[in-house]
Amino acid sequence: MGSPTIAALFAQRVVVGVGDMGVSNNPQITLSTYALGSCVAVVAYDPVAKAGGLLHLMLPDSTISPAKAQSQPAMFADTGLPILFRSMIGLRADFARTRIFLTGGANVLCDADTFRIGERNIIATSEYLSRHAFVVRHMAVGGTINRTVHLNVATGDITLKTPLGIESLTLG
């Protein structure tokens, strides 16, 4: 197998929890979020600035809990998405170059999900992105399976893991 590379020795994984967000322009960083069910992960990447962001949103609309939206804005699509993109600008990302991957929004609990949280998360996220002229390059949403996603900030490469297997794609 051989010795690890210097880069591999210093590589770091930043885990983005439920209702949280992470951004980076450090090429040693991999942004990751685990076990997306009805939640939606928005992965944003500017290949020129080599800046990436990952938002793990839980709910479509912050009006159900304004106090929670104040303390944890990344929990909601309508408050989390603006913060994600403002943070990306702070890393010199350009909206015109930013590429988007959406995943999650599944119905993992039961077929009779009366609240349709996953579906509503996808709709709210897609509508926001469309209103702000972002083009979604790749999507893996809906269905009934959970998903884990990793973004390599150096390359824009994405690894998507599901119970069905592993898929690789790139925003780089």
Residue 3 lies in a domain: no
Single out the residue of 148, 133, 163 nearest to residue 36, CA to CA: 148
> What does the pLDDT profile of the chain (172 residues) look like in tens digits?
566 666 565 679 999 999 999 999 999 999 999 999 999 999 999 999 999 999 999 999 999 999 999 999 999 999 999 999 999 999 999 999 999 999 999 987 766 666 789 999 999 999 999 999 999 999 999 999 999 999 999 999 999 999 999 999 999 9
Residue 149 lies in a domain: yes
Q: Tell me the C-alpha distance between 64 and 167, whole Å.
A: 35
Residue 132 lies in a domain: yes
Look at residue 136 in the predicted model and tell me its pLDDT.
Answer: 96
pTM (2 d.p.)? 0.92
Residue 45 lies in a domain: yes
The CATH number that applies at residue 104 is: 3.30.1330.200
Q: Give the count of domains, the chain.
A: 1
Residue 73 lies in a domain: yes
Q: Which domain holds residue 147?
A: 12-170
Residue 7 lies in a domain: no
Residue 166 lies in a domain: yes
Look at residue 95 in the predicted model and tell me its pLDDT.
Answer: 93
Residue 93 lies in a domain: yes
Look at residue 81 in the predicted model and tell me its pLDDT.
Answer: 98
